[in-house]
Chains A and B, each alone.
Chain A
Amino acid sequence: MQDMERIKIIVVGDGAVGKTSIVSQFAESRFSEEYKLTVGATFASKTVEVEGKKVRLSIWDLAGQPRFDEITQMFFKGARGVAYVFDLQKPATLKNLTNWYKRVTKETGNIPAVLVGNKLDLAPESIDDVDAYAKQFAQYLQTVYIKSSAKQNINIDVIFKELVSRIFRTKDVKIVH
């Protein structure tokens, strides 16, 4: 295996916000209209080049339904970055990210994060309130707020590249060239 830095990333958020679609679009350039519940967790990997450095990402897409909480908790360990995902059509999924934040940081500490508002293609015209709340939450997370569409492949690469870039900036990560 190549001597390349490997980084574990987790993708979390409520059920049906589009986590699996984001990961599939990113890792396999694939989107399915059909909703398929993630049972437990699924895994994908992809090599990305960020700031001239190549890294191999192992991406854990975790089930969002509360019945899987005890199982998904096991996958938090070792994560170096987290994508918090919500559905732009459903403000409750954004508000619930505070619970996800508590659960994740309890296990991992304050790791680099990105906040993702997904399903931009389906979002109502006026989402000012959601945007305002999301920006506030992103500020709290000390990160950026990215609006994406897995279906239309809008900003999907940006999510992961931004996250990797933030991981690079943390002191404890050594990148092997």
Chain B
Amino acid sequence: MNATNNDKIKKILKELKENNPDVESVVLSGPDGIVIDAILPSDEDPLLMSALVASILMMSKKSVEKVKKGLLKRVLIEGEEGSILVIQTKNNSILGCVLKKKAKIGLAMIELKRAADKIDEILGEG
């Protein structure tokens, strides 16, 4: 990925976080779990977050396939103190975000999907 694309992706992730106060952190991972970029609080490890969202997505994808429920659309994990939302982009990268407690999940899903579409446009396979 060239420097311009890196900047464009960074901007998309930043906007995703800044435009929605419910979003605590955002990570974009390659299909191999390697971090492409992330906007995280300083105490969170981008490498770990990336591996985590990729694992969540891959295992969920496999689970949906196993029970013959078609293609995976998204993964939502709800904790007592917040949620994790993960989707796969068309170019197979994985976009995840951590949401605050009582976040508007529906809105976050729409915004995450929108960001994934923009990322696809940049990476040229959308």
Q: List chain A positions with a Cβ less than 8 A from chain B.
A: 37, 39-43, 63, 65, 67-68, 70-71
Q: Does B96 contact A (CB under 8 A)?
A: no
Query: Is there an interface contact between A40 and B32, defined as CB atoms closer than 8 Å?
Result: no
Query: Is there an interface contact between B51 and A42, defined as CB atoms closer than 8 Å?
Result: no
> Are A39 and B31 also in contact (CB < 8 A) when A67-B51, A70-B48, A71-B52 are?
yes
**A39 contact set on B, CB distance < 8 A:** 31-33, 54-55, 57-58
Complex CA–CA separation, A41 to B50 (angstroms): 15
Interface range on chain B: under 10, 10 to 19, 20 to 34, or 35 or more?
10 to 19
Q: List chain B positions with a Cβ less than 8 A from chain A.
A: 31-34, 47-48, 50-52, 54-59, 62
Query: Is there an interface contact between B55 and A37, defined as CB atoms closer than 8 Å?
Result: no
Query: Is there an interface contact between A71 and B32, defined as CB atoms closer than 8 Å?
Result: no
**B62 contact set on A, CB distance < 8 A:** 42-43
Complex CA–CA separation, A82 to B54 (angstroms): 25
Number of A-B contacts (CB under 8 A): 39
Complex CA–CA separation, A67 to B59 (angstroms): 16
Query: Is there an interface contact between B55 and A65, defined as CB atoms closer than 8 Å?
Result: no
Q: Which 9 A-B pairs have the closest CB atoms?
A: A40-B55, A39-B58, A67-B51, A39-B54, A71-B55, A39-B33, A68-B51, A37-B32, A67-B47
Complex CA–CA separation, A70 to B52 (angstroms): 9
Beyond A40-B33, A40-B56, A68-B51, 10 extra complex contacts between A and B, CB < 8 Å: A37-B32, A37-B33, A40-B51, A40-B58, A42-B59, A43-B62, A67-B47, A67-B48, A70-B52, A71-B55
Name, among B32, B55, B57, B62, the residue most crowded by chain A CB atoms within 10 Å (CB to CB).
B55
Sample of 5 A–B contacts (CB below 8 Å):
A39-B33, A39-B57, A40-B51, A70-B51, A71-B55
**B34 contact set on A, CB distance < 8 A:** 67
Complex CA–CA separation, A68 to B48 (angstroms): 7
**B47 contact set on A, CB distance < 8 A:** 67
**A40 contact set on B, CB distance < 8 A:** 33, 51, 54-56, 58-59
B62: nearest chain-A partner, CB-CB: A42
A72: nearest chain-B partner, CB-CB: B55
Query: Is there an interface contact between B55 and A68, defined as CB atoms closer than 8 Å?
Result: yes
